[in-house]
Chain A
């Protein structure tokens, strides 16, 4: 299985500011994903981070709000831009390891005040 780390683990930010979340994997992976988990809810996919090309965003999520970088096969960043209290969530990256298994990072707990 892949070992995934995320930074920061948590942050409290003021509205209108931006936060960049990092995801590091201990092995090269093809597919990396960014999910959001709002309080008391399940996971919603934000985008698929593609190495060497632009991320693929899900309906309701746009690049201007959630720009993503994927400079290599072990690292990705997600930026939450111009934050509002509605962006308060846990943000998780996940990767596919092996044929199908998907593993999640520990998550970044974001609170916007």
Chain B
């Protein structure tokens, strides 16, 4: 069964902030990825957290707590183009295979 969970869908207003949570359970953990996927396109890399804490990249930030098996992706100043699916995935070793959550579909409304 899947051991990495994220909400199925979220709706937010343009200009607002949305936080997408991801929880995981695994024996052996190296790091946590976030990808963005627009409909009909391949996933694009957003972030990778190995250490606890917050990493900020422009409007997007990602947080990791290894002890709690928890991560979140924070999207600020939402734009219509941010409407997409956001996938979290963990890896057990750097550069190795990914185990994905089910993805969170974010809909940004005007």
Contacts from A to B (Cβ < 8 Å): 1, 30-31, 33, 41-45, 48, 92, 94, 96, 99-107
Contacts and interface: CB of A to CB of B under 8 A. Distances in A.
Interface of B: 31, 33, 35, 41-45, 48, 50, 87, 89, 91, 94-103
A43 B44 CA distance: 13
Contacts, number: 53
15 contacts: A31-B96, A41-B102, A43-B89, A43-B98, A45-B97, A45-B98, A45-B99, A94-B98, A100-B48, A101-B48, A102-B45, A102-B98, A103-B45, A104-B43, A106-B42
A31 B97 CA distance: 9
B103 A42 contact: yes
Contact of B97 (A33, A41, A42): A33
Nearest to B40: A109
B31 to A, nearest CB: 7
A61 to B, nearest CB: 12
A53 to B, nearest CB: 16
A92 B42 contact: yes
A104 B95 contact: no
For the complex of A and B, 6 pairs with smallest distance between CB atoms = A96-B95, A104-B42, A42-B103, A100-B94, A42-B100, A43-B100
B95 A43 contact: no
Nearest to A4: B42
Contacts of B101: 42
For B41, B42, B94, the residue with the greatest tally of chain A CB atoms inside 10 Å of its CB is B42
A86 B45 CA distance: 28
B87 to A, nearest CB: 6
A70 to B, nearest CB: 15
Contacts of B100: 42-44
B11 to A, nearest CB: 18
Contacts of B89: 43
